[in-house]
Amino acid sequence: MRPVSLFGSELRRAREELGWSRDKLAEEINFSASLVEKVETGTKPPSVAFTREADRVLGTEGLLGRIREHLLTQEGLPEWFRSWYEIEQEAAAIWWYELLLIPGLLQSEDYAHALLGGDESKVSARLERQEILTRESPPPPELVMLVDERALRYPMAGPQAMRAQLEHIMTVAERYVVQVVPIACGTHLHLDGSFGIGVVDGREYVYVDTPARGFVLDSPDVLSSMKRRWDLIRAEALPRRQSTELIREVAEQWTT
């Protein structure tokens, strides 16, 4: 059974045990009956808020939340990415460089929809990754994002969606470090592609992307090489305030 279908069947079972109709459940959790139907039939994955409220009113003691976290999310994540996902969930620090796309942890829902072809399970998984940035316990990771200027200008979505995406980045940048690597910079190392570095319990890991798949590596030689690459790229990035000014400037261009 697909994870989203398992969630739907458990939701329906819990609802029917209480003798509730879909309309009754919708009223109790303040969501539409049509959404309840879509979730129960597995045609739409549940949001965090939907899951939390359903667990509360149905008395399922967090069961639906656990299904969503451990099964639904995995359905939208490629198998080879899941080891990096686990690192993100536990990391004390994440440093990421992105060349042509907005990093996943910074993507708006509309941008993710355009990038992922509207696949609801993948979009849901992408957005759920971002919850590490707003959680209270454990504390969010230290986050530093280096975003190439090309990613700000590449028309992944329509003009309005691109503007909203860049405005979203500016909001995240109020709390975390987001720096732009200008197109005219003094190194070519950034052109080799995107990568990330995560720190879990004092141990460092590198994630590198390829057109076929991504890889998590932790050998000392690779770590040393990628950390030097990170330092050289970051040295070319604009300071935080100038980065925000450039992001705002490009955002305004998307609707002019």
Q: Per-residue pLDDT tens for 10-38?
A: 999 999 999 999 999 999 999 999 999 99
What ranges do the domains of the chain cover?
3-74, 78-253
**In degrees rounded to 5, what are phi and psi of residue 44?**
-145, 130
**In degrees rounded to 5, what are phi and psi of residue 95?**
-120, 130
Q: Per-residue pLDDT tens for 84-115?
A: 988 998 999 999 999 999 999 999 999 999 99
Give the Cα-Cα-Cα angle 42, 23, 119 (nearest 5 degrees). 25
Confirm or reject CATH 1.10.260.40 for domain 3-74, answering yes or no: yes
As a whole-number percent, the residues of the chain with pLDDT over 90 amount to 68
- Whole-number mean pLDDT of the chain? 91
Beta strands across the sheet bearing 93-98: 177-181, 142-148, 93-98, 195-200, 203-209, 214-217
Q: Per-residue pLDDT tens for 144-201?
A: 999 999 999 999 999 999 999 999 999 999 999 999 999 987 667 666 789 999 999 9
Domain 78-253 CATH class label: alpha beta
Are 84 and 207 in contact by the 8 Å Cβ rule? The answer is yes
Q: How many CB atoms lie within 10 A of CB 80?
A: 12
Alpha-carbon Rg for the chain in angstroms: 20
As a whole number of angstroms, the distance between CA 251 and CA 249 comes to 5
**In degrees rounded to 5, what are phi and psi of residue 119?**
-70, 110
Q: Please give the pLDDT value at position 2.
A: 59
Question: How far is C-alpha 91 from the chain's CA centre?
Answer: 14
As a whole number of angstroms, the distance between CA 176 and CA 164 comes to 18
Q: Please give the pLDDT value at position 248.
A: 97
DSSP class of residue 220 equals H
Burial class, 136, CB count within 10 angstroms (exposed 0-12 / middle 13-18 / buried 19+): exposed
Across residues 216-232, what is the average pLDDT? 95
Pairing label, strands 93-98, 142-148 = parallel
Q: Please give the pLDDT value at position 168.
A: 98
- Residue identified by tokens 């005219």 is 184
Question: How far is C-alpha 24 from the chain's CA centre?
Answer: 33
pTM for this predicted structure: 0.76
- Token pair for 187: 């190194």
**In degrees rounded to 5, what are phi and psi of residue 236?**
-95, -10
As a whole number of angstroms, the distance between CA 99 and CA 253 comes to 20
Task: Name which of 166, 195, 187 is nearest 232 in CA terms.
Answer: 187
